[in-house]
Amino acid sequence: MKAWIGGLLYAIFSKAGTKAGSSVLCHIRDLADLIVHEVDERVNEKGKNVLDQVLLARLLTFTTLGFHIIFATLGVGIPLFISIAEGIGIWKKDAHYLLLARRWSRGYVITVAVGVVTGTCIALQLIFLWPGFMQLAGKVIGLPLFMETFAFFFEAIFLGIYLYTWDRFKNPWTHWILSIPIILGSVGSAFFITTVNAFMNTPQGFTLEDGVLTKIDPWLAMFNPATPSKVAHVLSSAFLTVSFVLGAIAAYHLFKKKEHEYYKKALGFTMFFALLFSLLNTAIGDLSGKFLAEYQPEKLAAGEWHFQTESRAKLIVGGIVNEDTLEVEYALGIPMLLSILANGNPNSVVIGLDQFPRELWPPLYVHYFFDGMVGLGAYLFVISLVFVVLSFFHKRGKLRRFSRWNRPLLFGIIAGGPLSILAIEFGWIFAESGRQPWILRGYLQTSHAATPAAHLMEMFILFNLLYVFLAVLVSIVLIRLFKKTTPEMELEDKKIIL
């Protein structure tokens, strides 16, 4: 077990961030490594080359969702940035911001396309791979799933209208108003689908009698205890990620010594929002910790290797755990911090894994992902803070010696693009693996829900080939699209000299 985690972490840290701008490719390589390690492990354990259904179903769900959430995150966040940029552009009559909105929306369509098709994949794979789960839970989560499709429908319609009406109205604000339903649709679909995931973590709104769900209350199921913190965290982290991804593009051009005002405006704009959402995200992350302590203590305990229930619990940073003796080595323990994180009180008692039978423990590797997520979040916060502080003092005439366009800082922002996506993946893996062994916490175990159908292995290979292929192609298409017409060319075409 430890071998593949080590391998995975090595793979992630050695590969991510080395090549900015190709985060998708990095991601794909990591997935490939993870799969190879998992497969090797299984082969060694059982001495035969047959993977069991549950593992295959989990792996296929993992690769589909792991690929989808990159595009889903961009899809949730980018419309807000397009809309704000267009709004500023119209309000201040600043052609640079208008061009920014146009170029972002052009790239956005490509990512939306991949998001739509992978979203369709996961929607149907839920039925194909976990038919038992869908049969049971479909009675309760049908409503949010249905509403999610509505929101998505809404977004699709207005995206089509928005993209094809740039120059069609006399009043530019008419076109800007069309961006509002796109934001509503994208945020709405994130909201509804997250309530479904929240329901799987803290199910309520039904009674289980002899394997049949009765007394169903879909609204209670939708607004379950996990919903507020999950929705808030999903949205704030999506906005944070997008501000870094868009910021990284601008930083990349400045790093390449392109001096145009356009890039500087883009970077200032995105980094301002990066700091804002970073603060928001941290506050919401704290709320999520308190939520876990109260409703899902085993997830928090596994994430923090907190084995004994105790007061003044310490927070463990880093380290390696021995899964047999449960001893933690090489870790930094910060006294009382876990109690503060869990309850806001250093003397409070935090429930440990000793309160749960061993077979119901989440896997202990989730700690690495938890630390990774928090670490990357801290990095994003520091980088955006440095940039904003430098630009603030620069304007005031102080700190003139430290240009905010200095190269190490630009490099740090470029790295922030792929790293922010990595943080999304880590957080998601922590949240999902931390729920194991349950698919519906307290009701249905994952191992009882996988499809009995044959040919899972072939389907797994088929879909992975598809994702690798799409990842390569989408990167090539996006790079070509933006290289073919540079902002300088477009500004000249439109005869804009500012």
Partner 1 sequence: MSLEILGITVLWTFLYGYLIVASIDFGAGFFSFYCKVKKEDHLVNSIIERYLSPVWEVTNVFLVFFFVGLIGFFPSTAYYYGTALLVPGSIALVLLSLRGSFYAFAHYGVRNSMLYTGVYGLTGLFIPASLATVLTISEGGFIRETNGLVEFLSDQLLKSPYAWSVVILAIVSILFISASFLTYYADKAKDRKSTVIFHKYAIMWSLPTIFASMLVFFAIYQHNPEHFQNMLDISWLFLLSLASFLVALALLLKKKHYGWAFVMVMLQFAFAFYGYGISHLPYLLYPYITISDSINSPVMGKALVTGFIVGLCLLIPSLYLLMKMFLFDVKYVQGKEKAVQR
Interaction residues for partner 1, span 447-476 (CB under 8 A): 451-453, 455-456, 458-459, 462-463, 466, 470, 473-474
Eight-class DSSP state of 398:
-
Options 150, 173, 392, 402; binder of partner 1; rule CB under 8 A: 150
Applying the rule CB under 8 A, the residues between 361 and 390 that interact with partner 1 are: none
411 to 440: interface string for partner 1, x by CB under 8 A: ------------------------------
Eight-class DSSP state of 363:
P
CB atoms within 10 A of CB 322: 11
Options 112, 284, 316, 383; binder of partner 1; rule CB under 8 A: 112
Question: Using the rule CB under 8 A, is 228 a contact of partner 1?
Answer: no
**For residues 175 and 264, which CB has a smaller minimum distance to partner 1 in the complex?**
175
**For residues 164 and 330, which CB has a smaller minimum distance to partner 1 in the complex?**
164
Structure tokens at 41: 């492990």
**For residues 156 and 389, which CB has a smaller minimum distance to partner 1 in the complex?**
156
Applying the rule CB under 8 A, the residues between 203 and 222 that interact with partner 1 are: 212-219
Task: Give the three-state DSSP class for 151.
Answer: helix
Task: Give the three-state DSSP class for 204.
Answer: coil
Q: Using alpha carbons only, how large is the chain's radius of gyration in Å?
A: 23
Question: Using the rule CB under 8 A, is 169 a contact of partner 1?
Answer: no
Q: In the complex, what is the shortest distance from the CB of residue 33 to partner 1, in angstroms, rounded to a whole number?
A: 23
Q: In the complex, what is the shortest distance from the CB of residue 195 to partner 1, in angstroms, rounded to a whole number?
A: 13
Helix residue ranges, H only, 130-213: 131-163, 172-177, 179-201
**For residues 137 and 275, which CB has a smaller minimum distance to partner 1 in the complex?**
137
Phi, psi of 346 (to 5 degrees): -65, -20
Taking CB under 8 A as the binding criterion, the range among 7-15, 106-114, 294-302, 319-327 that sits at the site for partner 1 is 106-114
Task: Give the three-state DSSP class for 485.
Answer: coil
Q: In the complex, what is the shortest distance from the CB of residue 109 to partner 1, in angstroms, rounded to a whole number?
A: 5
Task: Give the three-state DSSP class for 286.
Answer: helix
Question: Using the rule CB under 8 A, is 223 a contact of partner 1?
Answer: no
Q: In the complex, what is the shortest distance from the CB of residue 120 to partner 1, in angstroms, rounded to a whole number?
A: 6
Options 20, 116, 388, 421; binder of partner 1; rule CB under 8 A: 116
Options 2, 50, 160, 180; binder of partner 1; rule CB under 8 A: 160
Name residues whose C-beta falls within 8 Å of residue 430's C-beta, 6 or more positions apart in sequence: 303, 366, 369, 370, 373
Q: Residue 131 half-sphere exposure, CB side, CA atoms within 13 Å?
A: 5
| Cα(324)–Cα(69) distance, integer angstroms | 34
Q: In the complex, what is the shortest distance from the CB of residue 335 to partner 1, in angstroms, rounded to a whole number?
A: 48
Angstrom CA distances, 173 to 98, 179, 490, 494, stand at 12, 10, 22, 20
Listed residue (247, 264, 265, 211) closest to 88, CA to CA: 265
Taking CB under 8 A as the binding criterion, the range among 122-130, 225-233, 243-251, 342-350 that sits at the site for partner 1 is 122-130
- What own/partner pairs with CB < 8 Å and gap ≥ 24 does 260-263 have? 260/487, 260/488, 260/491, 261/96, 261/498, 262/96, 262/99, 262/100, 262/487, 262/488, 262/491, 263/487
Q: In the complex, what is the shortest distance from the CB of residue 111 to partner 1, in angstroms, rounded to a whole number?
A: 9
Task: Give the three-state DSSP class for 442.
Answer: coil
Question: Using the rule CB under 8 A, is 478 a contact of partner 1?
Answer: yes
Question: Using the rule CB under 8 A, is 484 a contact of partner 1?
Answer: yes
Q: Are 416 and 247 in contact (CB under 8 A)?
A: yes
Task: Give the three-state DSSP class for 390.
Answer: helix
Size of the site for partner 1 (CB under 8 A): 78
Q: In the complex, what is the shortest distance from the CB of residue 219 to partner 1, in angstroms, rounded to a whole number?
A: 7
Options 113, 279, 385, 457; binder of partner 1; rule CB under 8 A: 113
Taking CB under 8 A as the binding criterion, the range among 151-159, 269-277, 321-329, 400-408 that sits at the site for partner 1 is 151-159
Question: Using the rule CB under 8 A, is 90 a contact of partner 1?
Answer: no
Question: Using the rule CB under 8 A, is 21 a contact of partner 1?
Answer: no
Quick one: 209 exposed, middle or buried, by C-beta within 10 A (0-12, 13-18, 19+)? exposed
Applying the rule CB under 8 A, the residues between 45 and 84 that interact with partner 1 are: none
Q: Are 327 and 379 in contact (CB under 8 A)?
A: no
Options 149, 309, 447, 486; binder of partner 1; rule CB under 8 A: 149
321 bridge partner residues: 328
Applying the rule CB under 8 A, the residues between 293 and 312 that interact with partner 1 are: none
Options 21, 33, 166, 272; binder of partner 1; rule CB under 8 A: 166
